[in-house]
Amino acid sequence: MTAKIVSLNISDKKGVKKKPVDMAVLRENYGIKEDAHASEKWHRQISLLAVESIEKMRSKGLNVGPGDFAENITTQGIDLPSLPIGTKITIGDEVEVEVSQIGKVCHTRCAIYTQAGDCVMPKEGIFAKVLKGGVVKKGDEIKIKSSGL
């Protein structure tokens, strides 16, 4: 199976579910244009979570989907948490990102954690810095360019 984007998601505020968009502009060393998490000042410029991880939460009875875990890019066909930090990924024809963090500490228990007693984003979501910007859209192919440090 070819790895691909199943959803692109942005929000204008931090700490809320993200809304799906048809396409997104990624800016080098910044993140997704018009997304609240984009910033030149840190290494978590974009977030990725696999639809397979979302399916795990659905199997626990939750009505969740892409963007509900505040991820920017929902992927399919790629084992995101297995990618080492430093892995370079090509998205679509021109965008290149580098894995900068695997998972995160969940300081506050979100609504999903409260409902299910668990959340996949802290364990299975990844973060990346944008090395080369460009436009991405739903359905774009994702390729591992190099495998980390």
Distance, first Cα to last Cα, the chain? 26
The predicted model gives 122-135 an average pLDDT of 91
Q: For 14-18, 51-55, 136-140, which range has the lowest pLDDT when averaged over its residues?
A: 14-18
CB 130 within 8 A of CB 26: yes
The confidence score (pLDDT) of residue 119 equals: 59
Q: pLDDT for 111-128, tens place per residue?
A: 545 544 555 666 789 999
Question: Domain count of the chain?
Answer: 1
List, for residues 49-108, the tens digit of each pLDDT value: 999 999 988 888 888 899 988 899 999 999 999 999 999 999 999 999 999 998 765 555
pLDDT at 35 over 50: yes
Whichever domain contains 70, its CATH number is 2.40.33.20
* Predicted local confidence at residue 116, as pLDDT: 45
Q: What are phi and psi of 122, to 5 degrees?
A: -60, -25
Determine contact, residues 32/136, Cβ cutoff 8 Å.
no
What residue numbers bound the domain in which 57 lies? 4-146
